[in-house]
Amino acid sequence: MTEPVTKLNLWKKHLGRVPAEVWENADLEWLVLADNDLEEIAPEIRRLKKLRMLDLGHNRIRQIPETLGELEGLSDFLYLHDNQLDGLPASMARLKRLRYLNIGENRFLELPEAVCAMSGLAELRASDNGLTELPEAIGALHGLRELHLRNNRLTHLPDSMGELTELRQLDLRENPLRALPEVLANLPKLDKLDLRWVSTLEPPSWMRRLEERGCLVYW
């Protein structure tokens, strides 16, 4: 009897499009389709109900199918970085178990609402986009430990950041920040705040409180 295929690595195979037979592997838990010049993902991805890790990075994908939101078992990693995305389907809010999401190097001008509903996230990477602000709803990500926002267009952060009580690392490098909310000083587990290459911000007086309790602040 043939053993079920649970891992499939098709990294950099110059596919152009995903072979239809990939979606027939219902036992897949781990799928890498990175760096394949893909422009789209078929709705048939909904068949991969056991998937825990999906890598779609380094492609030319413009749109994620609604059916990706049906993969509620997706729990480990979802890589969507280095594509041409400017939005995510609302259905992805159903990915409550997902712990790591990378949407960096895309065309997002705002953080998709669906992301703020992914309550299981421990690490969110949204660097190298065009984000001008974060929604208040980001405060709902109570388990978030790392938030990476390098090289966006952020000028301020919402006060709801104070609700991210598990946050350890906050990367704000290369943003035109003009103010930071004082609630950051009260984040009990924050141990790294990276503000390098931010030339528009005067250090707020409360920053010393962070440093005195051991948080590394990089300017």
The total number of structural domains in the chain stands at 2
Residue 1 has pLDDT above 60, yes or no: no
Tell me what the mean pLDDT of segment 66-92 comes to: 98
Residues 79 and 2 occupy one common structural domain = yes
pLDDT recorded at residue 2:
66
Residues 58 and 141 occupy one common structural domain = no
Assess if residue 98 is contained within a domain. no
Q: Is 60:84 a contact under the CB 8 Å cutoff?
A: yes
Tell me what the mean pLDDT of segment 171-183 comes to: 97
Range of the domain at 183: 131-219
| CATH number, position 217 | 3.80.10.10
Q: Which residues fall within 8 angstroms of residue 70, CB to CB, at 6 or more apart?
A: 46, 49, 91, 94
Across the chain, mean pLDDT equals: 97
Phi-psi region of 91 (alpha: psi -120 to 50; beta: other; left: phi over 0): alpha
pLDDT tens, position by position, 92-118:
999 999 999 999 999 999 999 999 999
Choose one of 44, 73, 92: the last residue of a domain: 92
Residue 75 has pLDDT above 60, yes or no: yes
Assess if residue 7 is contained within a domain. yes
pLDDT recorded at residue 4:
86
Assess if residue 99 is contained within a domain. no
Among 1-5, 127-131, 176-180, 190-194, the least confident range = 1-5
Backbone angles phi, psi at 109, to 5 degrees: -100, -15
Residue 76 has pLDDT above 80, yes or no: yes
Tell me what the mean pLDDT of segment 138-161 comes to: 98
Which DSSP category does 174 fall into? T
What's the rounded Cα separation, in Å, for the pair 108 and 131?
Answer: 6
- Reported as a pLDDT band with limits 50, 70 and 90, residue 3 is confident
Assess if residue 111 is contained within a domain. no
Choose one of 92, 116, 145: the last residue of a domain: 92
Could you tell me the CA-to-CA distances from 130 to 28, 81, 83, 116, 144 in Å, in that order? 34, 14, 14, 17, 22
Assess if residue 103 is contained within a domain. no
Which amino acid type is present at position 144?
A: L
Q: Considering the entire predicted model, what is its pTM?
A: 0.97
Q: Is 123:100 a contact under the CB 8 Å cutoff?
A: yes
Residues 1 and 73 occupy one common structural domain = yes
Residues 83 and 12 occupy one common structural domain = yes
Assess if residue 109 is contained within a domain. no
Residue 13 has pLDDT above 90, yes or no: yes
Residues 164 and 77 occupy one common structural domain = no
Phi-psi region of 68 (alpha: psi -120 to 50; beta: other; left: phi over 0): alpha
Assess if residue 104 is contained within a domain. no
Choose one of 67, 92, 117: the last residue of a domain: 92
Assess if residue 33 is contained within a domain. yes
- Reported as a pLDDT band with limits 50, 70 and 90, residue 211 is very high
Beta-bridge partners for 169: 146, 192
What's the rounded Cα separation, in Å, for the pair 154 and 152?
Answer: 6
Residues 76 and 135 occupy one common structural domain = no
Residues 81 and 148 occupy one common structural domain = no
pLDDT tens, position by position, 18-54:
999 999 999 999 999 999 999 999 999 999 999 999 9
Residues 135 and 88 occupy one common structural domain = no
